Amino acid sequence: MANQHLSGNNDVWKKKVGYHRRLVAETAMFRSKTLLGRHLSLRNHDVQVGETMAMVKALNRMTSLGMPHSVKIA
Protein backbone atom coordinates (compact mmCIF):
# COMPACT_ATOMS: atom_id res chain seq x y z
CA MET A 1 0.00 0.00 0.00
CA ALA A 2 2.99 2.27 -0.15
CA ASN A 3 2.68 5.16 -2.58
CA GLN A 4 -1.10 4.98 -2.95
CA HIS A 5 -1.04 8.27 -4.77
CA LEU A 6 0.91 6.62 -7.59
CA SER A 7 -1.50 3.70 -8.02
CA GLY A 8 -4.01 5.71 -10.05
CA ASN A 9 -6.57 6.13 -7.26
CA ASN A 10 -5.98 9.42 -5.50
CA ASP A 11 -9.21 9.46 -3.49
CA VAL A 12 -7.63 8.20 -0.25
CA TRP A 13 -4.72 10.60 -0.54
CA LYS A 14 -6.97 13.56 -1.40
CA LYS A 15 -9.19 12.87 1.61
CA LYS A 16 -6.20 12.43 3.93
CA VAL A 17 -4.54 15.73 3.00
CA GLY A 18 -7.76 17.76 2.55
CA TYR A 19 -7.10 18.37 -1.13
CA HIS A 20 -10.70 19.35 -1.94
CA ARG A 21 -10.66 22.20 0.56
CA ARG A 22 -7.35 23.40 -0.85
CA LEU A 23 -8.70 23.26 -4.40
CA VAL A 24 -11.77 25.27 -3.44
CA ALA A 25 -9.59 27.91 -1.76
CA GLU A 26 -7.21 28.12 -4.75
CA THR A 27 -10.15 28.50 -7.13
CA ALA A 28 -11.59 31.31 -5.01
CA MET A 29 -8.25 33.12 -4.97
CA PHE A 30 -7.86 32.73 -8.75
CA ARG A 31 -11.35 34.14 -9.33
CA SER A 32 -10.80 37.13 -7.08
CA LYS A 33 -7.38 37.94 -8.51
CA THR A 34 -8.62 37.59 -12.09
CA LEU A 35 -11.64 39.84 -11.58
CA LEU A 36 -10.34 42.37 -9.09
CA GLY A 37 -6.59 42.64 -9.69
CA ARG A 38 -3.52 40.65 -8.79
CA HIS A 39 -2.04 43.10 -6.26
CA LEU A 40 -3.21 45.16 -3.32
CA SER A 41 -2.62 48.85 -3.91
CA LEU A 42 -2.15 49.90 -0.28
CA ARG A 43 0.89 49.20 1.95
CA ASN A 44 -0.51 49.35 5.48
CA HIS A 45 -1.61 45.87 6.66
CA ASP A 46 -4.77 47.06 8.40
CA VAL A 47 -5.83 48.98 5.31
CA GLN A 48 -5.01 45.98 3.10
CA VAL A 49 -7.44 43.91 5.17
CA GLY A 50 -10.16 46.46 4.47
CA GLU A 51 -9.25 46.57 0.79
CA THR A 52 -9.41 42.77 0.61
CA MET A 53 -12.78 42.68 2.38
CA ALA A 54 -14.15 45.25 -0.08
CA MET A 55 -12.93 43.07 -2.98
CA VAL A 56 -14.56 39.98 -1.48
CA LYS A 57 -17.82 41.87 -0.93
CA ALA A 58 -17.77 43.05 -4.55
CA LEU A 59 -17.06 39.52 -5.81
CA ASN A 60 -19.89 38.09 -3.69
CA ARG A 61 -22.25 40.76 -5.01
CA MET A 62 -21.30 40.02 -8.64
CA THR A 63 -21.81 36.31 -8.00
CA SER A 64 -25.22 36.84 -6.41
CA LEU A 65 -26.36 38.99 -9.34
CA GLY A 66 -25.41 36.23 -11.77
CA MET A 67 -27.22 33.46 -9.90
CA PRO A 68 -30.57 32.36 -11.34
CA HIS A 69 -33.69 32.68 -9.22
CA SER A 70 -35.50 29.36 -9.08
CA VAL A 71 -38.98 28.64 -7.82
CA LYS A 72 -40.61 25.35 -6.95
CA ILE A 73 -43.42 24.38 -9.30
CA ALA A 74 -46.23 22.63 -7.44
Mean per-residue pLDDT of the chain: 81
- 36 neighbors 55 (Cβ within 8 angstroms): yes
Number of domains in the chain: 1
- 62 neighbors 35 (Cβ within 8 angstroms): yes
Section 36-45 average pLDDT: 83
What pLDDT, on the 0 to 100 scale, is given for residue 7? 56
Would residue 58 count as lying in a domain?
Answer: yes
Section 32-48 average pLDDT: 83
Three-state DSSP class for 3? Answer: coil
What pLDDT, on the 0 to 100 scale, is given for residue 30? 87
Would residue 73 count as lying in a domain?
Answer: no
| pLDDT confidence tier of residue 5, bands split at 50, 70 and 90 | very low
The boundaries of the domain holding residue 26 are 4-66
Would residue 72 count as lying in a domain?
Answer: no
* Cβ neighbour number for residue 8 with a 10 Å cutoff: 6
State if pTM tops 0.75: no
Q: What is the distance between the alpha carbons of residues 14 and 16, in angstroms, rounded to a whole number?
A: 5
